[in-house]
Each structure stands twice: as structure tokens, then as C-alpha cells.
């Protein structure tokens, strides 16, 4: 079947223009996980099945009505909006338009595929109607193509969240969705021979940093590099003091240490691990007020970082560190911070 597919990310932008995280579970945001799953689904449909497939709302730049408005034509013949469920259940379910037999086929195939991939309950293909007997979800009711809404797993059920909180899990979920869509469309996976002919990857010109903050009782999602546009651009939650930090690089090593409020500088951490206290800077539950970072074995590069104090804005960027003056660390003595940004720069 020819025709175009659109994989749509649910949430991201609220009607008023602010950030809409969707459901939140254990510090994870529905939008942030859904968009990665959607990205992998699109990539798989294009690369493995040669399908024409677009990805919509990855950056959270379209609120629901804007997404619907773009999908009122038959430019696409099939759309799937990706969500995570909430409310304390378990398993996967997929909604379709109550008058669309094709939609039902897609919904059944996707639910079965995710359920099998993760070994979780298949809650099945479902219809949800509003009080006037129309389809409840706008993305299904008010758009032109065959549409489904995929509730991949429950974000607020730990065993479900486990499946999709890592990049590998998000990829597996995206592929499960893509495989199901391809099956309904009669697409078969293209030979992988062309893939192996790809030239060797060129060395990265930039170095990416990934980092994560601990506040309350949870590690928050990993952040890659930074931006000044949305909450993907920093680690932390406004108003909640950070008590531990982990960071790693795409190449080379980053070293960092934290000073607790009213306390002391703790040992330097090199890179990170997720197993013990050598794997992060800080002490879980003790507010950090100062932070130092530097790179190891990366001539020509420097780390820059800055923090925002609780109740305040971002302080100036700090490059590397020194032990001489207040340019040598991020933060203000005695003031906890709630947001952190890190970037690697060429010098
Ligand atoms: Zn949702």
C-alpha cells in the first residue's frame, strides 16, 4: 500500500503555549518518553520498510488543535498519536474510530505487537465515545485519515515504566509499533544489505554531554546538552532543590564534585555509574549549593555549566573550575539550586 503515514507525539505544548508534560510518573514525563518512541517508530518505518512517514510534534511545538488542523486533509492515509497511559493500570491499549474497520485492524495489530515485545498485558483495541456518541479523542474524531491513539504503557506503574524509560526500551516500543503498522499495510522489511554498505561514520565534531539530577526521591530524566526553550534544556524541576548529579560524555570523560549546603566538598566523580555512591556527585537528600566540573583527556574542549538557585534565575556560565575565587564553581554558598545546564565547547 502506498500512501503516507504520520506518527504524532501527544502533549508537549499546552493551549496557552506553555509546556504540557502529559502524565508524570516517578519523575518521568509522558511527552518526553512518547516523543522518543514516536521518533523510533518513524525511523523504523522509513529505514526498514521504506515507508513514507513523517514525525509530528517531536519538539512539542504544536498543541492538540494545531495538530488536528494539520491532519484534516487526506495527505496522510494513516496517523498514530503516541501516548503513555496513567491511572495505575498495566499493559497496552490502542484506540480507534468506532466507524473505521481499518482503524480497528491497526489498533489490534499495534496492541498485540507492544504486548508481545514487552511481555505485558494486551488490553486490546478500544473505542471511547463522548456523551454525544462521537469518538472521545480529538485526534481520532476530528481528523481525516484513519487514526489511532496508542497508549503504550502506564507511566505511573513502575513495571510498565521500566520497559520504556531507557533509550533501548523506547526503541523497542517504536519498532513494535512500526512492525505492526507495516504488517497491516502489507509492507515487508527491506533487505539489510544496503545498510551494511554504509560508509564508516565520520568522527563526531562535537562532544555531547548527558546529565541527570536527583531531587525529591527520584532521578529525573537524562538531559542531552542544553537549550533555552523548554524543560528538556536543563536537569531539574523548578522549585525542587537538587541533591545529586550524574554526567557522562559521548567521548572522553567528565569529572565533577558537589558541595552540600552547610557541609563540604565531596570527592570528585569521574563519569558515572548507576550502582553506588561513586557514581554521582552529592548525597541523596542533602541540598547541593556549589558544583565544579572539568574534562579529562580532551584537549581543545572545555565544559561550561551553570545553575539556577531555588527561587532565582540562572547564574553566569562557569568554564572548568578553580579553587581561588567564585568564578571557579557554579552556585552560591548556602543557596540550593534547582536547575542545571551543561555544555561542552571547543576552545
Ligand atoms: Zn497522553
Q: Rounded to 5 degrees, what angle do the CA atoms 264, 266, 272 make? A: 150
Both 144 and 231 in one domain: the answer is no
Residue 260, classed as helix, strand or coil, is strand
Give residue 212's region: left, alpha or beta (phi > 0; psi -120 to 50). Answer: beta
Span from the CA of 7 to the centroid of ligand 1 (angstroms): 14
CB neighbour list of residue 305: distance below 8 Å, 6 or more residues apart: 291, 293, 317, 318, 330, 340, 341, 342, 343
What is the residue-wise DSSP string for 127-144? --B-TTSSBS-HHHHS-S
Within 10 A of 86 (CB to CB), how many other CB atoms are there? 16
Both 221 and 176 in one domain: the answer is no
Q: Contact, 254 vs 271, CB < 8 A?
A: yes
Span from the CA of 85 to the centroid of ligand 1 (angstroms): 6
Helical packing angle, 101-118 and 167-185, nearest 10°: 140
Span from the CA of 111 to the centroid of ligand 1 (angstroms): 16
pLDDT tens digits, residue range 148-184? Answer: 999 999 999 999 999 999 999 999 999 999 999 999 9
Both 260 and 116 in one domain: the answer is no
Span from the CA of 242 to the centroid of ligand 1 (angstroms): 27
Give the range of the structural domain holding residue 152, as residue numbers without chain letter.
Answer: 4-185
Span from the CA of 294 to the centroid of ligand 1 (angstroms): 39
Span from the CA of 211 to the centroid of ligand 1 (angstroms): 26
Burial 261-287 (b: 16+ CB within 10 A, else e): beeeebeebebbeeeeeeebbbbeebb
Supply the pLDDT for residue 316: 86
Both 164 and 269 in one domain: the answer is no
Span from the CA of 63 to the centroid of ligand 1 (angstroms): 12
CA 319, 307, 220, 9 torsion-angle sign: negative
Span from the CA of 9 to the centroid of ligand 1 (angstroms): 9
Within-domain flag for 164: yes
Question: What residues of the chain score a pLDDT lower than 70?
Answer: 1-2, 191-205
Span from the CA of 234 to the centroid of ligand 1 (angstroms): 23
pLDDT tens digits, residue range 201-253? Answer: 444 468 899 999 999 998 998 999 998 888 889 999 999 999 999 999 988 89
Number of domains in the chain: 2
Within-domain flag for 192: no
Q: Contact, 248 vs 342, CB < 8 A?
A: no
State the cell numbers at 73. 486533509
Both 287 and 178 in one domain: the answer is no
Closest CA to 313 of 335, 294, 288, 287: 335
Span from the CA of 210 to the centroid of ligand 1 (angstroms): 26
Both 118 and 212 in one domain: the answer is no
326 DSSP assignment: G
Length of the chain: 347
Within-domain flag for 196: no
pTM check: above 0.75: no
Q: What are phi and psi of 238, to 5 degrees?
A: -55, 130
Quick one: CA torsion of 206, 270, 323, 318, rounded to 10 degrees?
30
Amino acid at each position: 500500500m502506498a500512501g503516507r503515514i504520520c506518527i504524532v507525539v501527544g502533549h508537549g505544548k499546552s493551549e496557552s503555549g506553555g509546556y504540557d508534560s502529559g502524565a508524570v510518573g516517578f519523575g518521568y514525563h509522558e511527552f518526553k518518553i512518547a516523543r522518543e518512541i514516536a521518533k523510533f517508530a518513524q525511523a523504523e518505518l522509513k529505514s526498514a520498510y521504506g515507508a513514507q512517514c513523517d514525525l509530528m510534534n517531536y519538539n512539542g511545538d504544536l498543541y492538540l488543535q494545531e495538530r488536528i488542523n494539520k491532519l484534516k486533509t487526506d495527505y496522510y492515509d494513516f496517523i498514530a498519536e503516541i501516548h503513555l497511559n496513567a491511572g495505575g493500570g498495566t499493559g497496552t491499549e490502542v484506540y480507534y474510530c468506532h466507524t473505521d474497520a481499518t482503524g480497528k485492524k491497526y489498533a489490534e495489530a499495534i496492541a498485540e505487537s507492544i504486548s508481545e515485545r514487552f511481555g505485558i498485558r494486551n488490553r486490546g483495541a478500544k473505542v471511547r465515545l463522548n456523551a454525544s456518541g462521537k469518538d472521545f479523542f480529538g485526534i481520532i474524531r476530528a481528523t481525516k485519515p484513519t487514526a489511532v491513539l496508542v497508549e503504550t504503557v502506564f507511566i505511573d506503574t513502575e513495571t510498565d515504566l521500566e520497559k520504556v524509560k531507557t533509550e533501548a526500551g523506547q526503541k523497542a516500543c517504536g519498532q513494535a509499533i512500526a512492525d505492526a503498522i507495516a504488517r497491516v499495510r502489507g509492507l515487508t522489511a527491506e533487505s539489510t544489505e544496503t545498510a551494511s554498505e554504509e560508509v564508516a561514520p565520520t568522527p563526531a565534531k562535537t562532544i555531547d554531554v548527558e546529565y541527570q539530577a536527583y531531587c525529591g526521591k527520584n532521578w529525573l530524566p537524562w538531559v542531552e546538552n542544553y537549550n533555552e526553550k523548554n524543560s528538556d534544556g536543563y536537569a531539574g524541576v523548578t522549585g525542587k532543590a537538587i541533591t545529586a548529579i550524574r554526567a557522562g560524555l559521548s567521548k572522553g570523560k567528565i569529572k565533577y564534585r558537589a558541595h552540600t549546603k552547610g557541609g563540604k566538598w565531596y570527592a570528585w566523580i569521574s563519569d558515572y555509574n548507576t550502582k553506588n555512591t561513586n557514581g554521582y556527585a552529592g548525597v541523596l537528600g542533602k541540598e547541593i549549593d556549589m558544583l565544579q566540573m572539568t574534562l579529562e583527556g580532551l584537549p581543545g574542549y572545555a565544559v561550561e555549566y551553570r545553575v539556577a538557585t531555588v527561587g532565582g534565575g540562572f547564574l553566569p556560565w562557569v568554564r572548568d573550575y578553580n579553587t581561588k575565587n567564585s568564578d571557579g564553581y557554579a552556585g552560591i554558598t548556602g543557596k540550593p539550586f534547582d536547575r542545571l545546564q551543561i555544555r561542552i565547547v571547543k576552545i
